Amino acid sequence: MSVAEILPGPDDARLPASAAAGAHAMSVDVEDWFQVQAFAPFIDRATWEGRPRRVETNTHAVLDLFARHGTRATFFTLGWVAERHPSLIRRIVAEGHELASHGHAHHPLHELDAFRFRADVRRAKRLLEDIGGVAVTGYRAPSFSIGAHTPWAHEVLAEEGHRYSSSVYPVRHDHYGSPDAPRTPYRVAGGALLEIPPTTCRVLGRNLPCSGGGYFRLLPLTVSDLAFRKAARQLGRCVFYFHPWEIDPGQPRPAGASAKARFRHSVNLSAMRGRLVKMLGRFAWDRMDRIFPTD
């Protein structure tokens, strides 16, 4: 993608001048390095308990960074993590961030049926609320794995007390994505739940991801910045996300992982903190529930 391709185009001219004003939603998917989907074929879940946990230290570093920049964010947190690090959950809440759910055990929805999904959602929500002492209304599926193959998912989330989801990524990807899904928030489950898509930039008739994660580490910062600004002109309010392990270049490297998985996971980890600092300084940020109220 060239810089020219993401400069203002005809679509931007139809939007009001104030469309890019105001804050965007900052979010963090709180999971450990060994729980990411790229490593799922190479790391047995049965070994999780014995692996060195780095999520607490890394998330504290993220919280310190947000505190220095006056940033409030939404932390989509695994119940598995909360169960083992309750003081981290309490700090997230105490510092004014939104506590939200990432499910309990990081099962992509293609591994579950509706019954098992409900059990996972319910367990995570109750655990997070018990530890954090606040209502948990937001949910993000592991690996953005809600899509056409899970028509029951949004209904389950609404029935379990969630008011919004950020789980349908309108892009084409080998692990996830619903490229024909709306790019802006929309109502599902009979209107009971708001689905808030991660942000994409519309270029030459295609949705290109520009909301963080691996794409943010892979692309030059100038391109990511221009794409995010174009998306803000197109959409108004945008969503950014990353994981605590993305600021940790010293994390272990799992044996046996494919070259593709290693590249996806480790590309530009050493540069991520500096890039994140620049994004925090270039845009205003707030919690998901404030940027996209569900009332």
Pick 234 or 16 by higher pLDDT: 234
pTM: 0.91
Could you report the per-residue pLDDT of 218-253, keeping only the tens digit for each? 999 999 999 999 999 989 999 999 999 999 999 999
Could you report the per-residue pLDDT of 93-108, keeping only the tens digit for each? 999 999 999 999 999 9
Any idea which of 93-97, 185-189, 264-268 has the lowest mean pLDDT? Answer: 264-268
Contacts of residues 122-128 at CB distance under 8 Å and 24 or more positions apart, as own/partner, are 122/160, 123/79, 124/78, 124/79, 124/82, 125/101, 125/160, 125/161, 125/162, 127/79, 127/82, 127/83, 128/77, 128/79, 128/82, 128/89, 128/99, 128/100, 128/101
Across the chain, mean pLDDT equals 90
> What domains can be seen in the chain, in order of their start residue?
3-8+21-291 (3.20.20.370)
Pairing of strands 285-286, 24-30: parallel
